[in-house]
Amino acid sequence: MISLLACNQREGGIIIAGSTSVQPFIEKVAEHFMEKHPEIQINVQGGGSTAGIQATFNKICDIGTSSRNLKISEKDLKVIVIAIDGIAVIVHKDNSVNNLSTEDIRSIFSGKIENWQDLGGRDEKIIPVTREEGSGTRGSFEDMIMGDGIISDACLVQDSNGSVREIIATTPQGIGYISVGLVDEREKAVAINGVKPTLANLITCKYKFSRPFLLLLLEEPKGSIKEFIDYVLSKEGQDILKKDGLIPATEIYND
């Protein structure tokens, strides 16, 4: 949960809250920004996309973050797209399965397929790991992959991309989904319908499973908030995001 801090700009500080998918990326940009502006302290919190949207409406934070598009009831917020991210389906690095169809994944997370042998792997029970309700990553996964399918209550539920990644990295039978930019050498991202979630495939839209990373505001940014947002959208800020596996907003809208 997001702590109920007084989030107005006290003594030059900025509080950012919301998506745990956006959190590690915006934290890194914030670190670089604070090196240049030591007088401005930035506190980045998680809590999930829905929590970030609510925190923005309720003035609990200066900037909200979301890794899903806003619903009609949320459209009053000012939205700034900072990058596009892919959702990767990950398995343990020693899993022999390298490709899954959308239907395979849907069947795994709905509980219809329970053994890796049915997918060309070992005779082992599948352990699916999902995100919590309200997570932008889960919402995007449900929209893009699950469709009308329902995620089974038998799935393990975790509250961040990082915790999903840790479980998959240490669980040979596991399968989960996280931000493409957070995949490391401890696990592997499978191809979906024969297409790998590479940066090149995301840029060309060959890999279909992507979502926006958003900053959210109640009004036009001013002062140090504007300075920070300008930095996020600057070449330096966008290069930081690209280095970590995201598609910078400037590459999408400034062709």
Give the residue range(s) of CATH 3.40.190.10 domains in the chain. Answer: 10-84+211-253, 87-203
Whole-number pLDDT of residue 199: 83
Decide if 49 contacts 65 (C-beta within 8 A).
yes
Instruction: Work out the pLDDT band at 253, boundaries 50, 70, 90.
Output: low
CA-CA-CA-CA dihedral for 134, 140, 145, 148, to nearest 10: 50
Higher pLDDT, residue 64 or 12: 64
Class of domain 10-84+211-253: alpha beta
Element (H, E) at 217: strand 210-217
Instruction: Give bridge partners of residue 63 from the DSSP assignment.
Output: 16
138 exposed, middle or buried (CB, 10 Å; 0-12, 13-18, 19+)? buried
Pairing of strands 63-66, 14-18: parallel
33-83 pLDDT tens trace: 999 999 999 999 999 999 999 999 999 999 999 998 898 989 899 999 999
Predicted TM-score (pTM) above 0.85: no
In this structure, which topology does domain 87-203 adopt according to CATH?
Answer: D-Maltodextrin-Binding Protein; domain 2 (3.40.190)
Stretch 114-121: mean pLDDT, rounded?
97
Whole-number pLDDT of residue 12: 59
* DSSP 8-state assignment for residue 195: B
Cα distance between the two ends of the chain:
39
Whole-number pLDDT of residue 8: 42
Whole-number pLDDT of residue 172: 97
Stretch 186-190: mean pLDDT, rounded?
96
153-180 pLDDT tens trace: 999 999 988 999 999 999 999 999 998 9
Stretch 235-239: mean pLDDT, rounded?
96
* DSSP 8-state assignment for residue 125: B
Whole-number pLDDT of residue 234: 96
